[in-house]
């Protein structure tokens, strides 16, 4: 198991200059985005929301939120030292083939990754698909790298979600989870349980649990990934200051960006959650948020949000939850993928609609499992099988 990277220790900037950074100022976004003109939506309390799987996602999808997501992408870039991720596929000079970006937001990460990796399947081959990651994954080919960002409070069962990631990676592939802890904290005790910001975090946690998609702290995901079968699991921890209270120039800039990110998003995070889970009125939500915003901007409160970016390597050994690849020489399709169900190899996708078949209690004698290369030798799909 890889060694974790601990979070930084932040010193307070005792010589704060209000002119140096304008807290809460508008930060423009100029990225290319997937706009909601492509989406069906409904209006609720003055914000628009996805109608697909109506009610499962509590954050709006309007232009205000899309601009915030692009800003949040800049926060991640600054936190990760201008990298799109910490997994090996994100390193300079790395070559990667097939990539999946889950919870893609405006699409800015996928487009940036495509620009950095001309060898990958990318623009003009980048495709944006609207689907539910909690349903069965039906991809025809596995991925080399799966990138998942801020899916907390969007997933009902993380074990199922991560098993889907595992089953849809090539042997030796990587999954990276970039997650934000809901609960702001402070190292010096300047953020207390009596502050509106702390009470707001608890309210959102309770609402998310009541709605069936709880916020999850990043560290437990590490253990869950290991249990599923991932190896070389590492966790890199970061701090996003609530405003520019930190002395270090990088974290002061992070504070400027994160303050704007939080202020522009706090209503969207809260409105549907509290009105749906607790039957609050919009007016009650807005009254609460006055003090929450004040706490976020207060430089005497040295708060930060813990964030993590963890890279996980899929095991090179075949297990019941692993994947095998097979090639049928009678078809144009190059491969099928599946898993060992305990009753023989099961090809769940492939050359045609009839190719998904179980091979019975054990693979037939003319289909040999090559564990070293994770391949099925002498494989024929149902359509091209003589038997």
Same domain, 278 and 207: yes
Same domain, 174 and 239: yes
Same domain, 335 and 287: no
At residue 2, the pLDDT reads 52
Same domain, 267 and 328: no
Q: Is residue 4 part of a domain?
A: no
- The residues that bridge with 368 in the sheet, in sequence order, are 377
Same domain, 300 and 330: no
Helix (H) or strand (E) holding 296: helix 282-297
Same domain, 187 and 298: yes
At residue 329, the pLDDT reads 47
Same domain, 263 and 333: no
Instruction: Go through 40-75 and write b for each residue having 16 or more CB atoms within 10 A of its CB, e for each that does not.
Output: ebeeeeebbbbeeeeeebbbbbbeebbbbbbbbbbb
Same domain, 183 and 264: yes
Same domain, 347 and 328: yes
Q: Please give the tally of structural domains in the chain.
A: 2
Q: For the whole prediction, is pTM greater than 0.85?
A: no
CATH assignment at residue 62: 3.40.50.150
Q: Is residue 200 part of a domain?
A: yes
At residue 326, the pLDDT reads 43
At residue 318, the pLDDT reads 28
Query: What tens-digit pLDDT sequence spans the chain (387 residues)?
Result: 455 666 777 778 776 654 444 444 433 333 344 444 445 688 999 999 987 677 678 999 999 999 999 999 999 999 999 999 999 999 988 888 899 999 888 999 999 998 888 776 544 545 656 667 888 888 888 999 999 999 999 999 999 999 999 989 988 889 999 999 999 999 999 999 999 999 999 999 999 999 999 999 888 888 899 898 888 888 899 999 999 999 999 999 999 999 999 999 999 999 999 999 999 999 999 999 999 999 999 999 999 999 998 766 664 322 222 333 444 444 444 343 444 433 333 333 344 333 333 333 333 333 333 333 334 444 444 444 444
The residue ranges of DSSP E strands in 181-288, in sequence order, are 185-186, 236-241
152, 161, 164: which is closest to 339 by C-alpha? Answer: 164
Q: Of 278, 313, 348, which one is at a domain's C-terminal end?
A: 313
HSE, side-chain direction, 13 A CA sphere, residue 384: 14
Q: Is residue 22 part of a domain?
A: no
- For 369, other C-beta atoms within 10 Å of its C-beta total 16
Q: Is residue 319 part of a domain?
A: no
Q: Of 313, 338, 364, which one is at a domain's C-terminal end?
A: 313
Q: Angle at CA 112, nearest 5°, toward 110 and 115?
A: 110
Q: Is residue 64 part of a domain?
A: yes
At residue 172, the pLDDT reads 85
Q: Is residue 2 part of a domain?
A: no
Q: Of 282, 313, 344, which one is at a domain's C-terminal end?
A: 313
Contact 289, 319 (CB under 8 A): no
Q: Which two tokens stand for residue 252?
A: 């002061």
Same domain, 68 and 180: yes
At residue 16, the pLDDT reads 60
Same domain, 151 and 170: yes
Same domain, 275 and 359: no
Residue-range definition of the domain harbouring residue 344: 324-384
**Residue carrying structure tokens 């049928």:** 328
Q: Is residue 18 part of a domain?
A: no
Q: Is residue 30 part of a domain?
A: no
């Amino acid at each position: 198991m890889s060694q974790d990277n601990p979070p930084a220790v932040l010193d307070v900037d005792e010589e704060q200059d209000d002119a140096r950074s304008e807290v809460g100022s508008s930060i423009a976004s100029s990225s290319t985005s997937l706009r909601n003109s492509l989406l069906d939506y409904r209006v609720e309390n003055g914000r628009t929301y996805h109608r697909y799987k109506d009610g499962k996602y509590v954050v709006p999808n309007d232009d205000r939120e899309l601009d915030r997501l692009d800003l949040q992408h800049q926060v991640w870039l600054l936190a990760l030292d201008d990298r799109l991720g910490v997994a090996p596929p994100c390193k300079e000079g790395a070559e990667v083939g097939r990539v999946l970006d889950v919870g893609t937001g405006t699409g800015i990460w996928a487009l940036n990754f495509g620009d950095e990796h001309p060898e990958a399947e990318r623009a003009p081959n980048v495709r944006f698909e609207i689907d539910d990651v909690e349903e069965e994954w039906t991809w025809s080919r596995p991925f080399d790298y799966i990138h998942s960002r801020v899916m907390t409070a969007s997933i009902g069962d993380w074990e199922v979600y991560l098993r889907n990631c595992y089953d849809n990676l090539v042997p030796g592939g990587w999954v990276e989870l970039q997650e934000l802890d809901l609960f702001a904290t402070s190292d010096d005790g300047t953020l207390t349980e009596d502050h509106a910001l702390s009470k707001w975090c608890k309210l959102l946690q309770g609402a998310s649990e009541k709605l069936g998609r709880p916020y999850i702290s990043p560290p437990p995901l590490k253990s869950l990934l290991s249990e599923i079968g991932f190896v070389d699991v590492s966790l890199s921890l970061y701090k996003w200051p609530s405003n520019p209270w930190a002395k270090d120039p990088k974290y002061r800039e992070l504070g400027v960006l994160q303050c704007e990110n939080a202020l522009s998003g706090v209503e969207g995070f809260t409105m549907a959650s509290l009105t749906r889970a607790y039957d609050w009125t919009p007016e009650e939500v807005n009254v609460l948020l006055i003090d929450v915003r004040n706490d976020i901007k207060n430089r005497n409160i040295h708060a930060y949000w813990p964030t993590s970016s963890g890279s996980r390597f899929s095991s090179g050994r075949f297990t019941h939850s692993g994947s095998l690849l097979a090639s049928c020489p009678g078809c144009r399709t190059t491969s099928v993928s599946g898993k060992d169900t305990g009753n023989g190899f099961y090809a769940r996708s492939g050359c045609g609609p009839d190719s998904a078949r179980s091979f019975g209690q054990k693979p037939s004698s003319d289909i040999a499992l090559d564990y070293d290369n994770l391949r099925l030798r002498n494989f024929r799909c149902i359509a091209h099988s003589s038997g």
